A = this chain, B = another copy of it.
Amino acid sequence: MPHKSRLGCLVVDCETKDLGDALAFWSAALGMPGKVDADGKYAQLQAPEDQPRMLLQAVDHPPRVHFDIETDDRAAEVERLEALGARRVSELPRWTVMEAPTGHRFCVVGPQRADFADNANAWD
């Protein structure tokens, strides 16, 4: 059963409990307005419509940028990525944390954008 995936989101992990200052900087730096979510954990920046989403995330580890890969079949996509050499780090209700052979952490998540079905990569 074929499934699809692609680069879905760029996540800027910010080591803070208050994303306000991080949002002020990154939205002005990149020219992408945004707002902090109700629970204060995320701030979505308004990236161009057809491009990967851009998200700030409040974290308690040192700052980094990570990728989210969006997919319509998380189990199949995680298996595909494991076969390519990535390892599974943890399973959460809405995403799987993985680590690439290059040492970069990334997450596998559900579809993020309206054009996913038309434009994502299809894997047999």
Contacts and interface: CB of A to CB of B under 8 A. Distances in A.
A37 to B, nearest CB: 17
A40 interface: no
A46 B15 CA distance: 32
B81 A26 contact: no
Interface in A36-74: 48, 50-52, 54, 62-67, 69
Given A69-B30, A102-B14, A25 B63 contact: no
Nearest to A31: B121
B85 A25 contact: yes
Contact of A101 (B25, B100, B103, B104): B25
A25 B102 contact: yes
Nearest to A12: B104
Contact of A81 (B6, B29, B103): B29
In order of increasing CB-CB distance, the 3 nearest A-B pairs are A31-B121, A63-B103, A65-B65
18 contacts: A5-B31, A6-B30, A7-B30, A7-B54, A10-B65, A14-B102, A15-B102, A16-B102, A25-B85, A25-B86, A30-B67, A30-B121, A31-B121, A48-B50, A51-B52, A65-B65, A65-B66, A65-B104
